[in-house]
Amino acid sequence: MILEAVMLQVKLGMEEEYEAVFQEASKIISSMPGYITHELQRCIEVKGKYLLLVKWETLEDHTIGFRQSKEYQEWKNNLHHFYDPFPTVEHFENVLL
């Protein structure tokens, strides 16, 4: 299992719209092969800051299966205009097996 972690900064004043659009876009990512689960956390201290955590079966399920799919283009069109700056995506694996 791979954990995708992304710190997101949403443009100020767009948070409510972002959350609504993200909820709809969640249907896209959750339909992808290798997807396990995801959650979006809102930062308490910093307005517009979110943490996205997505669990995938393999790294390739995210980097190839999702990122190179037509569904990713829809995800991107729905969500990427909310971010400033554009986020960095990192992947993690469990140390204690």
pLDDT digits (tens, 9 = 90+) for 8-62: 999 999 999 999 999 999 999 999 999 999 999 999 999 999 999 999 999 999 9
Does the structure show a pLDDT above 90 at 81?
A: yes
Does the structure show a pLDDT above 80 at 97?
A: no
Q: What integer pLDDT is reported at residue 69 of this predicted model?
A: 97
The domain locations on the chain are 2-92
Report residue 91's pLDDT band, with 50, 70 and 90 as the boundaries: very high
Query: What gap in Å lies between CA 11 and CA 29, rounded to an integer?
Result: 22
CATH code of the domain occupying 2-92: 3.30.70.100
Q: What integer pLDDT is reported at residue 96 of this predicted model?
A: 83
4 close to 42: Cβ distance less than 8 angstroms: no
Backbone angles phi, psi at 46, to 5 degrees: -120, 115
Strand partners, 53: 5, 39
Please tell me what DSSP assigns to residue 78.
H
Give the torsion through C-alpha atoms of 13, 30, 91, 65, to 10 deg: -120
